[in-house]
Structure 1
Amino acid sequence: MVLNHDSIKPIYVQIAEWLETEILNDHISTGEKMYSQYQLADMFNINPATAAKGLNILVDYDVLYKKRGLGMFVKDEAKENILIRRKNENLKQMVRELVQEADYLSVEDEELMEMLKQIRQERRGQS
C-alpha cells in the first residue's frame, strides 16, 4: 500500500483502513498478532505516534485488542465488526450521495436500480 499524503484523509485513518482491508482479505487472520506501531512506522516511513493512532482506531472499533506487554491482536469477531461498521457508515453515506445525485439528474428509482445491477454484474464478471 502507498499512503496518499495529498489526501484529505489523515494518514492514521489510511493506516487503519488498510489494516481493516488486510483483515477482510485474510492477509491478517483473527487471533494473529498485529503489526506494532514501530513496524508500521518503518513500513510507511511515518512517525510511530501516527501509526499508533491508526492502531488505536481499530481498538476503538472493536477490531483489535491489547495484551499487555505482548502487543495487539485481531479479535475473533473483527471481520464481522468491520463489515457492520463499514456498511452502516461508509456505504450508507455513499448511497446518500448517489441518491442525491440521481435526484439532481431526475433519475428514477428503477433506472438507478438497473444501473446498480449492471455494475454489479460487470464486477462479478471480472472476478
Structure 2
Amino acid sequence: MFDDRSPIYQQIAEKIKKDILYGDLTADEQVMSTNQYASFYRINPATAAKAFQQLTDDGYLYKRRGIGMFVSPDAQERLRAGRREKFFSDVVRPMVAEARAVGIDLQEIIHHLKEQA
C-alpha cells in the first residue's frame, strides 16, 4: 500500500481523506484506532498517530474522549471544495492555456467535454 514517494503518515492521511471524499467513510463514522490501523497495515503506531493528528488538526477527524476518532460532519464537503479548486488550477487553467496556444477555441473544448460526459 505504501510507496517511497512521501512519508507513510502522509500516505495514510491521504488514504483516509480519499475514503472520506468518495464516501467510504461518512460524517460522524468512527474510524479505526491508531493501534488497529498500525496492526492492520503493519506500521509503527506512532506513524499512524501522526497521520490521525494531522487529520484532526485539519478538521477532517474529531475525537470523542474515551471512544475514538470520527469523521467530521463537514469533512467531505471541505475536501470536495479543496479538490474542485485544485482541479481548476491544476487541470483546467493549463488546458485552456494550451488550447489557446494551439488555436483551439472555447466552443470546441466545450463540445469535446460534452462528448466525454
TM interval, shorter chain, is: 0.7 to 0.9
Give unmatched runs, 5+ long, in structure 1.
Answer: none
Q: Does 1:22 align with 2:1?
A: no
User: Take 1:39 and 1:108, find their aligned partners in 2: how far apart are those partners?
Assistant: 55
| Structure (1 or 2) with the larger CA radius of gyration | 2
Does residue 1:98 correspond to 2:94, yes or no? yes
**Structure 2: how far apart are the matches of 1:85 and 1:63?**
12
TM-score of the superposed pair, with normalisation by structure 2? 0.75
- The number of residues matched between the two structures is 116
In the aligned structure 2, how far is the partner of 1:98 from the partner of 1:41?
A: 39
Report percent identity of matched pairs.
33
Counterparts of 1:77-92 in structure 2, within 5 Å, are: 77-88=74-85, 90-91=86-87
User: Relative contact order: is structure 1 or structure 2 higher (C-alpha 8 Å, sep ≥ 6)?
Assistant: 2
RMSD of the alignment, in Å? 3.0
CA distance in 2, matches of 1:42, 1:117: 50
Change (3 A) 1:97 1:70: same
Tell me which residue corresponds to 1:33.
30
Provide the residue aligned with 1:73 in structure 2: 70
State the secondary structure of the residue aligned to 1:43: helix
TM-score, L = length of structure 1: 0.70
Q: Which 5+ residue runs of structure 2 have no aligned equivalent?
A: none
